[in-house]
């Protein structure tokens, strides 16, 4: 369990299903990411604890005073090399944003990915989510020019990848710079990147 002065990061439990579903719906509506092509319509949103119960997945929540205020998880990237995971459904309510929970939550997810044998972690987001993009870049994620795998999130248009085997000066996960990709527009493996 990761703990700060006023919040705790812990594994998601079955009793968190409704809270995290409601958080995802609230945040995605606030950021105008609703409808087909966005995670809000993923069937797993209705039962996050069950969806992330498998051996190669994990989901964590941030809790303060018994209230779940956000969450994030990792799982295999669909239709991709099995060594690549996806950072999924990292959403925090306004009450938690700016409180320093993003970096430890991201670190917790990347540690879980390494523990499950993943070598790279991919994520998709939106360019107008400046704070999130900054967080990912500070953690060592590098932008790549096209989507990987098949998440079904065609509404997202900013893509990142990190090499989980590399570290940077302070020991955090880092990345070997991902080279720009000309084609194909979709990748299934990091080796597809020229």
Question: What local confidence, expressed as pLDDT, does residue 193 receive?
Answer: 41
Q: Kindly tell me if the per-residue pLDDT of 182 is higher than 60.
A: no
Q: Kindly tell me if the per-residue pLDDT of 188 is higher than 60.
A: no
Report yes or no on whether pTM surpasses 0.85: no
Tell me the per-residue pLDDT of 9-25, one tens digit each, with 9 for 90 and over. 999 999 999 999 999 88
SS3 50: helix
Distance CA 7, CA 16 (A): 16
Domain 2-192 sits in which CATH superfamily? Gcn5-related N-acetyltransferase (GNAT) (3.40.630.30)
Q: What is the mean pLDDT of the chain?
A: 83
Tell me the per-residue pLDDT of 117-165, one tens digit each, with 9 for 90 and over. 999 999 999 888 888 899 999 999 999 999 999 887 787 889 999 999 9
DSSP-derived pairing of the beta strands 120-125 and 84-92: parallel
Tell me the per-residue pLDDT of 82-123, one tens digit each, with 9 for 90 and over. 999 999 999 899 889 888 899 999 999 999 999 999 999 999
């Amino acid at each position: 369990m990761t703990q700060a002065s006023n919040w705790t990061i812990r594994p998601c439990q079955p009793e968190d299903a409704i809270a995290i579903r409601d958080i995802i719906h609230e945040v995605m509506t606030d950021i105008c990411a609703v409808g087909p092509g966005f995670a809000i319509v993923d069937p797993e949103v209705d039962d996050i604890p069950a969806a992330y119960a498998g051996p190669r997945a994990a989901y964590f929540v941030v809790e303060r005073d018994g209230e779940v205020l956000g969450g994030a998880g990792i799982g295999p990237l669909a239709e991709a090399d099995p060594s690549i995971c996806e950072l999924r459904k990292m959403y925090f309510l306004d009450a938690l944003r700016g409180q320093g929970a993003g970096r430890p939550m991201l670190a917790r997810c990347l540690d879980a990915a390494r523990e499950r044998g993943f070598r790279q972690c991919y994520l998709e987001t939106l360019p107008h989510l400046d704070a999130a993009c900054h967080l990912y870049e500070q953690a060592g994620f590098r932008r790549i020019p096209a989507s990987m795998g098949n998440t079904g999130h065609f509404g997202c248009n900013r893509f990142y990848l990190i090499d989980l085997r590399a570290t940077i000066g302070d020991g955090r996960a880092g990345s070997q710079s991902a080279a720009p990709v000309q084609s194909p527009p979709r990748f299934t493996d990091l080796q597809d990147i020229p």
